[in-house]
Structure 1
Amino acid sequence: MARKGLIQREKKKKKLEQKYYLIRRSSKKELSKIPLLSAKWAIYGKLQSPPRNSASTRLHRRCCLTGRPRANYRDFGLSGHILREMVHACLLPGATISSW
């Protein structure tokens, strides 16, 4: 189980990312349209004005049950360990266990 503080930090980053998403997207579109370098510098400054943690690259996917930061499956939002336990307990419909 991950520390509670790390999980809360990731939630805070997610909220910031959603809050500044439109500002970042519109600035990046403007940047691609403008050919002048001097005008691009002003837009770069606008891109740097939101908080750093509002960038989508700073987010880290975590297991929604345990908060584990590694071995996450995007389709389920779970770590591999929890996914395996749920499949064995028949809690995920349509998922099958491979055996040989």
Structure 2
Amino acid sequence: MATTAKAVKDARKPKFSSRKHNRCKLCGRPRGYLRKFGVCRLCFRGLALKGEIPGVVKSSW
């Protein structure tokens, strides 16, 4: 979980345009962010295994 301070700080308007960080909508994690789904890799995996993301299935070969 991201600390409250980090979430509030990222919500503010940045001084420079290059300082914006993408954060997971569920846990606030700044790394491993998947733009297409708006969540981090950890939350994505959990949601995919539960079947909550339509069209995503676990691969096996």
Query: Structure 1: how far apart are the matches of 2:34 and 2:58?
Result: 15
Structure with bigger RCO (C-alpha 8 Å, 6+ apart): 1
2:3 paired residue number: 3
The structure where helix makes up a greater share of residues is 1
- Measure how far apart 1:56 and its partner are: 2.0
CA RMSD of aligned residues (A): 1.0
| TM-score w.r.t. length of structure 2 | 0.90
Structure 1 length as normaliser, TM-score?
0.57
Structure 1 residue ranges without an equivalent (≥5): 17-52
Matched to 2:16, the amino acid is A
1:78 pairs, out of 19, 29, 39, with: 39
Query: Is there any run of 5+ residues in structure 2 with no aligned partner, and where?
Result: none
How many equivalent pairs are there? Answer: 61
Q: Matched residues in 2 for 1:84 and 1:62: separation?
A: 16
Amino acid at match of 1:76: F
How much has 1:94 moved relative to structure 2? 0.7
